[in-house]
Every structure is written in C-alpha cells, then in structure tokens.
Amino acid sequence: MASPHRTRRVRTVVVALALVTAACASETGEEPTVPDTPDTTATGPQQPDATAILDAAYPDRQQPPTVLEVTDVVEGSGAAATAGRQVVVHYWGLRWSDGGTFDASWTRGEPFTFALGAGRVIAGWEQGVEGMRVGGRRLLVIPPALAYGDRGAGDVIGPGETLVFVVDLLDVAGS
C-alpha cells in the first residue's frame, strides 16, 4: 500500500522518448532508437540520458513536486526489491533546480549496493526503490523532506533542493 507521501505517476516515459527519438530520426533519415531503455543483453543496462528522461516526464518543469513521485520508465520482470534485502543499483542523480548532475554510479563504473529498509540511504530512496523489479528503470523525484532537507549536502546539493534520480535495479540478493 502506498504511503500518503508517495504518488505513482501514470506516464509512459518510454513512449514519449520513442516519439521524440522517432521524430528526430525521421529528419536525419536514421533508424529510431530509445537509448534510455535498459539493455536486456548479457552486457546489462546502458547508461541513461537522465536529463532526457526528466525532460520527457516533466516537459514544462516549473515548481518541483512536494511529495515523492515514482515513475517506472521500464518495468522490470525479475525479483522485487523488498525491505531487508540487499539491492544492487546503478543511478544518475540530478538537481531539480538546474538539471545538473551531482552524482552518478555510472561515472564511477561501479553499481551501488545497499540494504533496503536499513536507513542507510535517504528516505526518498527507501520508499522509491521498494517494489522495483530487477531489470527495471525508475524515475524518482524526491522532495527535500525525503532527501537532505534544509541542510543540503556539501557543495553539490543546496538547502531545500528537490532531487531527481534515474535508478536501474540490477539485482536483489538471493534472486
């Protein structure tokens, strides 16, 4: 059951990206592709274009949401991320205010592993990753109250910043 702080957007970001990509491709004569979809081959998911995913989901980005917003860009079909399980993710983090990247496991070339429900990540991640299935890609828009609040985080996340993450669930321990 969803908490009152969590809403689920019914958006098909992949379709929007496909339409934009197809429109651009038709102008150049190239075959349309959707590079922001996790690759299902043995090589694993491909690095997302987090800015394009955010822009497709929020084309007229004005005021940030005041509650956690979770959008499945791609629904996974593997094991579900549940409290108490180790999850392995790749992510890309952006600031809502300027769309700038503040962190990305992709740039380090190393996925991030954490125990879901153990309080080791921000509340927006705890709530936003739960229920994801392996192979899925999810857009999380996290209000300050579920992130770093009025204190911010170092010199990369300002006070009161809304955070945006594109998260790929790679594995759930024991799956």
Tell me, what's the pLDDT at 25? 36
What dihedral do alpha carbons 134, 140, 145, 149 form, nearest 10°? 100
Residue-wise pLDDT tens digits, 146-175: 999 999 999 999 999 999 999 999 999 855
| Domains recognised in the chain with CATH numbers | 60-172 (3.10.50.40)
The SS3 of residue 140 is: strand
Maximal CA-CA distance, the chain: 50
Residue-wise pLDDT tens digits, 101-112: 999 999 999 999
The SS3 of residue 98 is: coil
Tell me, what's the pLDDT at 46? 85
Prediction pTM value: 0.76
Find all residues with CB under 8 Å of 131, minimum gap 6, and list them.
Answer: 80, 81, 82
* Beta strand segments in the chain, E: 6-8, 68-74, 86-95, 101-104, 112-115, 137-142, 163-172
The one-letter code for the residue type at 123 is A
Q: How far apart are CA 19 and CA 56, in angstroms?
A: 10
Size of the chain, expressed as the number of residues it contains: 175
